[in-house]
Structure 1
Amino acid sequence: MIRTIAPADRARLEQGLKRLKLRRIREMLDAVSELALQEEPSYLDFLAYLVEAEVQAREATQRDKRLKAARFPMLRTLDSFDFAFQTSVSAQTIRDLATLQFVEAHESLVLLGPPGVGKSHLAIGLGIEAINRGYRVLFLTVQDLVQELYSTLADGSTTQKLKAILAHDLIILDELGYLKMDATASDYLFQLVAKAYERRSLIVTSNLEFQEWGSLFDSPATAAAVLDRLLHHAHVITLKGESYRMRSRLAPPKVHGTLPEGSAAPALRAGGRGEGGTPT
């Protein structure tokens, strides 16, 4: 039974909001009270407004927590990817992947290409899209993955560590190809790929073509087993072209001021760019 509504006691109201953990409503209490006096909404509209503000605040908090837990080395969005510079992948292809149907279907994505062509940028951008949709994401370089799993040998917690990694919906493994793995490291990577198969989504970036992966593992058989599971339900994108970082670094400096009469301006490399844009 609903009792008679009594005049509000401010201190008691704030205490109740605190107990219910309605932080956003408590923070905006004065502002929303003033707004209600001005607009005179119905009680239902006023309640809906407060609830929506609280829901949005909690979603933003959870997103920030997921973003921090993802361990991205830097933040890169798909909107900041320079498709005019990196023309070997179409914007439509990336927009299709950004629907995250591949994550929902537990498929994988493999990004191949030399250093500096945008593989990590795309991987991080898709990871941030996944976080915005409520998915749990983890970013690891292959070297970090191997080192973290090696550290579990001391206390025998390898199984627990793999389980913690596989608790994420999307796992990004960056820079496969820079580290030749021994038998233990090869087994770690195989275990992760095998356990993720048809259960979790992986994004893997590599500077090596698939036929070169045999040189990374302790045996060609392990490489074949990893590829068999990774590529069964996978999207593969091969990026080509110049390294963005090297292109920016090697571009001649701009010339300021006027040139002496008869002098010619030094030739500038076409398409030179400044800071920002597409990284590895």
Structure 2
Amino acid sequence: MSKHNLEPMRVRALALRLNGLLEHWDEVGAADWVAPLIQWEEDERDRRSLVRRLRDAHLGKFKALTDFDWAWPKRIERVAIEELMALSFMKDASNIVFLGPNGAGKSTLAMNLAHQALVQGHTVLFATASQMLGELAALDSDSTLRRRLRRYAQPDILVIDEVGYLSYSNRHADLLFELISRRYQNHSTIVTTKRPFAEWSEVFPNAACVVSLVDRLMHRAEVIAVEGESYRLKEARERNEARAQQRKGKKAARAGAGA
């Protein structure tokens, strides 16, 4: 193999900082085992990076999009969601808002988007609004607060789950505004909420920054509405019906045995 053809492999070795191999490149660069070695190292580092980013993302367990029951919601834009999975919205740091009632699948969709970003090499952090804002508001030290704000501001995707399930103080509103401002036009934020933006003044009552907060969050954002009955209630109902059938069968079997 010519030196010209070996150059791409040498560049890959440089990126991996395989200094020992590079020191003897002229001697071994053309050897048959060099290309597999570099590929193994790249694959292993990619694997470790994914494991680390998955751990740091705090996604937890969720239902994969391949198992999502698209027929259950009364309204859902499946084509739009499948297009989002290409992650093109991240190129201009656009935001995504999943809007709908409890249990309709908003968090599942947000987690699938976040997981796809992780697989593609991006950094992600998932947190409920109450967890994140409660943590930030409890910090007394300005330096600690700045460090923690940076933690939430830096990931390529931040998922803020369940905005609107609780009401928050002015301090919580100010902290969320500060965080959204830091991420504005730099990184994408995914929000799940059951409250339309017109009702966010009830989520953050008396907070002066609500209009500005919504304005920055909604600039270049796509809102995906999901409407329908709670899927969790559907699954609970089906489990109860299955148990009732099992008990009915056992009762009939006992009756038959006693006859």
Q: Give the TM-score of the pair, scaled to structure 2.
A: 0.78
Q: State how far apart, in whole Å, the 2-side matches of 1:152 and 1:137 are.
A: 23
Whether 2:36 is the aligned partner of 1:49: answer: yes
Segments of 5+ residues of structure 1 without an aligned counterpart are: 1-19, 23-42, 261-280
1:153-200 deviations in Å (ceiling 9; x for gaps): 246421221112111111000000112111111100111111111111
Q: Is the 8 A contact 2:85 2:116 kept in 1?
A: yes
Tell me if 1:253 matches 2:241: yes
User: For the residues of structure 2 that align with 1:189 and 1:206, how far apart are their CA atoms?
Assistant: 14
Contact residue 98 and residue 129 of structure 1 kept, 8 A: yes
* Match in the other structure for 1:151: 138
How far is the alpha carbon of 1:54 from its aligned partner?
Answer: 2.0
Task: Name 1:188's counterpart in structure 2.
Answer: 175
1:204-232 Cα deviation digits (max 9, x unpaired): 00111121111111426422111111111
Residue of structure 2 in register with 1:141 after alignment: 128
Give the match for residue 52 of structure 2: 65
Check conservation: 2:129, 2:160, Cα contact below 8 A. Answer: yes
Q: Does 1:198 align with 2:163?
A: no
Normalised TM-score (structure 1): 0.73
Map 1:190-269 → 2, pairs under 5 A? 190-219=177-206, 221-251=208-238, 252-254=240-242, 255-256=245-246, 257=249
Q: 2:109 and 2:173 mapped to 1: Cα distance? A: 26
Segments of 4+ in structure 1 off by > 4 A? 256-260
Q: Unpaired runs of 5+ in structure 2? A: 1-17, 21-29, 253-259
- 3-state SS, counterpart of residue 236 of structure 1: strand
**1:259 to partner: Cα distance:** 9.9
Cα distance in 1 for partners of 2:154, 2:199 equals 30
Please give the alpha-carbon distance, in whole angstroms, between the structure 2 residues aligned to 1:147 and 1:80.
33
Q: Distance in 2 between matches of 1:144 and 1:258?
A: 45
Relative to structure 1, the CA distance from residue 125 to residue 46 in structure 2 (aligned partners, 3 Å threshold; closer, same or farther) is: same
Report the CA distance shift for 1:50/1:124 in structure 2 as closer, same or farther (over 3 A): same
Separation in 2 of the partners of 1:153 and 1:220?
21
Q: Secondary structure at the match of 1:213?
A: helix
Percent identical pairs in the alignment equals: 32
Q: Please report how far the alpha carbon of residue 123 of structure 1 lies from its aligned counterpart in structure 2 after TM superposition.
A: 0.6
What's the secondary structure of 1:215's corresponding residue?
helix
What letter matches 2:144 in structure 1? S
Number of residue pairs matched? 222
Q: Deviations over 1:57-94 (max 9, x none)?
A: 11011001000000113244322322122352233211
Question: What one-letter code is carried by the residue in structure 1 that aligns with 2:150?
Answer: K
Amino acid in structure 2 at the alignment position of 1:102: F
1:34 paired residue number: none
Question: Which residue type is aligned with residue 91 of structure 2?
Answer: E
